[in-house]
Structure 1
Amino acid sequence: MPMAQDLRPDVSSPSAPQALAGVRVVEMGQLIAGPFAGKTLGDFGADVVKIEALGTGDPLRQWRLLQDGTSVWWQVQSRNKQSVALDLRQPEGQDIARRLIAEADVLIENFRPGTLEGWGLAPEQLHALNPGLIVLRISGYGQTGPYRDLPGFGVVGEAMGGLRHLTAEPGRVPVRVGVSIGDTLAALHGTIGVLLALYHRKAHGGAGQVIDVALHEAVFNCMESLIPEYSAFGAVREPAGSALPGIAPSNAYPCQDGWVLVAGNGDSIFKRLMAAIGRQDLADDPQLAGNAGRVARAEEIDAAIAAWTGPRQVADVVQQLAAARVPAGKVYTARDIAEDPHYRARDMLLTQTTREGRELLMPGIVPKLSGTPGRVRASAPRLGEDTDAVLAEAGLTPGQIALLRAKGVVQ
């Protein structure tokens, strides 16, 4: 079994060109959406300087389970970044931010609309300093519209985007996906926007632009046929538990030791699935040859599959269906992922050493690029760890930095 790649904080992995090498990013966001976009750009070579508030820094440092006083989530979200602790409420702090942004290619922020403007850092003002600057703005409802000033977190975006209504068993309370999917979807859409803007700037002349991503819009963009079905038929899609409404069979089925997902919704796949579970009668039934007929009898089909999976172990079900070329899979836990040979074979589990010397298993890098792969070049920084180095690179002298520290502008 291939071992997880060992990535020390001061040693880069084997050298290879990186797609975003030379791209300078200033990240002013916190928690999830903005920083996830920064992480993604950093994984592919961008030089990311994260500006954090004095004192405690990004609240994500204290979210969920802590090790050595810091969240292990932070170790994932902030790899390949430098930390500058700066008080943006003070004019001197705003001046330093301008100096950093003036030399940047990309600015990322996910504050409530108007926050940058209140600091004298409106995009128009920043573009006057740096015409090629690309500004990624992620917020709950976007920079315009009647809801722009309302507070919005990912869970609210998931609700407004239409997702939360569907994540439930029929008649039961809507549940969250289990991770901050709204924030992550917004971050990924924002990252796509940054890459598009970088390409446009290079191909069509140096103008920058503003990318406006709303949390609910990123979720809504992934809602498939939700609105066309309402438009054409007045159909309001309702919760369906683990089933895939209008497509059958595709569901979770009980086994002796857990649950298995089975997707037998292709016409030929369905026939192979029914043969594998000993229901040749259903395989040969002309009413079930197409999806529409199967949807009409979905409960009957699900019951037949569940009757076959119920007395079996998950591993046995997955093995037999794989032999029949039917898509099926175990519902993985964290332990399953950590012990899975396929994850390791594809470098999706990396051993990363924190600044405190602890080794942690981390998610690998997605997507996989053959010529310019991503890599972890540095582990997540301590608060303000890179303040002096970044400010010195921006042209401040040691004396100026010391004075700013004495005034409580930097940490």
Structure 2
Amino acid sequence: MSTALRPPLEGVRVIDLTTFLSGPSATQLLGDLGAEIIKIESLDGDSSRAIAGPEVDGDSAYFLANNRNKRSIALDLKSPRGLEVAKRLIAGADVVVENFRPGVTTRLGLAPETITAEHPSLVWASISGFGQEGPWRDRPAYDMVVQALGGVMSLNGHPGAPAARLGIPAGDVVAGLYAVIGVLAALSARAETGTGRIVDVSMLRGQLAMLSYQAVYTAVRGTAPGPQGAAHDSIATYRSFRGGDGREFVVTANTPRMWEELCRVLGVPELVTDERFVDAASRLRNKVELWELLEARVATRPAAEWVELLTDASVPVAPVRNVLEALQDAREADDGSLVTVRGEHAEFENVATPIRFVNTAEVEPVYPPALGGDTVRLLGEVGFSVDEVEALLGDGVAGAPSAHAVGAGVR
């Protein structure tokens, strides 16, 4: 057997200046791919550490969900000495990721243009609500704000109901994913040119990009699509149904063969030759009549029976799972979709990065760090002496859980 390859981003050092979700999700993904992540936090910590809700050993589950595989150093970036520490860390890095509002880095003394001029190989990624330029650049933004502005909420939910936020933080996570794509593209180019670049990612642009065909449909028609519910604007047999037991399942019978098999399984083969439903365009035009006929048949059996029968007929179908059921399915599949993140005093289960590399060593998940848990060691790594570290801690420029092990943490 050949020796396993190393994780693809091993040896890449990332300075993480992000908080809450969009940035932390991006840097967690980079860490899952093998990069070293150094999280610079304020002395109060990433704001997501204080999010109310479930906790694990006193830590917010919200914070834990997006901060594995990182080291934490707590700094007062508004102090000249704290800024100097940050600059030393950045000097030894390949990538910086931040999600401050535009202009904040400049006020702190970390203007991307200045820093990248000093370190030409550095890749700098900025995530913000509306981008670094434009009339809305100074507005604050969170997930639901960009879902609302990007048209996403208008598409979610059912006709006649109020607009609905997606139940997942797509505004944040999608921006994080695009930031990672930008960083990887910049690193790839740097391998050829030796020069990094600044990556500008807008949460709102991420939501607009997610519109996909709906954006083109709207531009062509000149009218806005309504809430999609659990159906499709172009495919009449791409929707959810409710079985006789009240459980929901979805069918995506996209091709002629799938349509014919759907009719056969449901016991209505005559619909295949019915002029109202003879082709995809006809089915879409007469979808309400079609749905009434299909729904009447579906109501005669429990959802699970239809799922089994349609699966046997190779018609794409699935039960609608809740999150607890979906995680249990993943657990039973035991295919690496979930990962157990273990710490010294606690552990929790989380979804794993879905990217798999063949014949490649896995990155073992590291428990999210305590606030400033690596401050002392990191200060030592960038050249501060024991006395200097003690002074930084004593003067409130840097923070650590306790200062008793300064000597052991500094080389």
TM-score normalised according to structure 1 size: 0.92
Q: Secondary structure at the match of 2:210?
A: coil
- Percent sequence identity is 33
Deviation (angstroms), 1:285: 2.3
Distance in 1 of aligned mates of 2:62 and 2:319: 25
Partner of 1:349: 338
Contact 1:186 1:218 in 2 (8 A): yes
Q: Secondary structure at the match of 1:262?
A: strand
1:382 and 2:370 equivalent?
yes
Partner of 1:116: 105
Deviation (angstroms), 1:330: 1.3
1:259 and 2:259 equivalent?
no
Q: What pairs with 1:372-411 in structure 2 (closer than 5 Å)?
A: 372=360, 374-411=362-399
Partner of 2:227: 239
> 219-228 vs 380-389, which deviates more?
219-228
* Residue 142 of structure 1, aligned match among 111, 128, 131: 131
* Residue 294 of structure 1, aligned match among 283, 296, 308: 283
Partner of 1:7: none
Deviation (angstroms), 1:22: 0.2
Deviation (angstroms), 1:91: 1.2
Deviation (angstroms), 1:30: 0.3
Gaps of 5+ in 2: 400-411
Contact 2:343 2:366 in 1 (8 A): no
Distance in 1 of aligned mates of 2:216 and 2:326: 37
Q: Secondary structure at the match of 1:307?
A: helix
Distance in 2 of aligned mates of 1:209 and 1:387: 28
Q: Secondary structure at the match of 2:212?
A: coil
TM-score normalised according to structure 2 size: 0.92
Partner of 1:270: 259
Distance in 2 of aligned mates of 1:354 and 1:258: 39
> 283-292 vs 237-246, which deviates more?
283-292
Letter in 2 for 1:95: E
1:84 and 2:73 equivalent?
yes
Contact 2:8 2:33 in 1 (8 A): yes
Q: Secondary structure at the match of 2:65?
A: helix
1:307 and 2:276 equivalent?
no
Q: What pairs with 1:173-212 in structure 2 (closer than 5 Å)?
A: 173-203=162-192, 205-212=193-200
Partner of 1:284: 273
Deviations 1:175-213 (A, max 9, x none): 11101111000000110000000000002x111111111
Partner of 1:106: 95
1:59 and 2:47 equivalent?
yes
Contact 1:355 1:382 in 2 (8 A): no
Distance in 2 of aligned mates of 1:407 and 1:136: 31
Distance in 1 of aligned mates of 2:123 and 2:284: 47
Distance in 2 of aligned mates of 1:333 and 1:128: 49
Name which structure has the greater RCO, CA cutoff 8 Å, separation 6+: 1
Deviation (angstroms), 1:359: 3.0
Contact 2:20 2:63 in 1 (8 A): no
Deviation (angstroms), 1:247: 1.5
Contact 2:341 2:365 in 1 (8 A): no
Contact 2:4 2:359 in 1 (8 A): no
Distance 1:28 1:37, change over 3 A: same
Contact 1:39 1:77 in 2 (8 A): yes
Q: CA RMSD in A?
A: 1.8
Deviation (angstroms), 1:354: 3.0
Deviation (angstroms), 1:257: 4.5
Letter in 2 for 1:227: A
Distance 1:330 1:62, change over 3 A: farther
Deviations 1:220-254 (A, max 9, x none): 11111233223323132111311111211111111
Distance in 1 of aligned mates of 2:100 and 2:12: 23
1:48 and 2:30 equivalent?
no
1:364 and 2:352 equivalent?
yes
Gaps of 5+ in 1: 1-13
Contact 1:103 1:130 in 2 (8 A): no
> 286-295 vs 215-224, which deviates more?
286-295
Distance in 1 of aligned mates of 2:362 and 2:97: 20
Contact 1:267 1:289 in 2 (8 A): no
Partner of 2:320: 331
Partner of 1:11: none
Contact 2:56 2:348 in 1 (8 A): no
Partner of 2:85: 96
Deviation (angstroms), 1:43: 0.1
Distance 1:15 1:78, change over 3 A: farther
Distance 1:398 1:314, change over 3 A: farther
Distance in 2 of aligned mates of 1:373 and 1:266: 40
Partner of 2:14: 25
Partner of 2:405: none
Distance 1:93 1:144, change over 3 A: same
Distance 1:344 1:394, change over 3 A: farther
Contact 2:129 2:141 in 1 (8 A): yes
Distance in 2 of aligned mates of 1:146 and 1:79: 35
1:317 and 2:306 equivalent?
yes
Deviations 1:95-151 (A, max 9, x none): 111110111111000111001000110012211331111111010100000111111
Q: Secondary structure at the match of 1:332?
A: coil
> 343-352 vs 377-386, which deviates more?
343-352
Partner of 1:225: 213
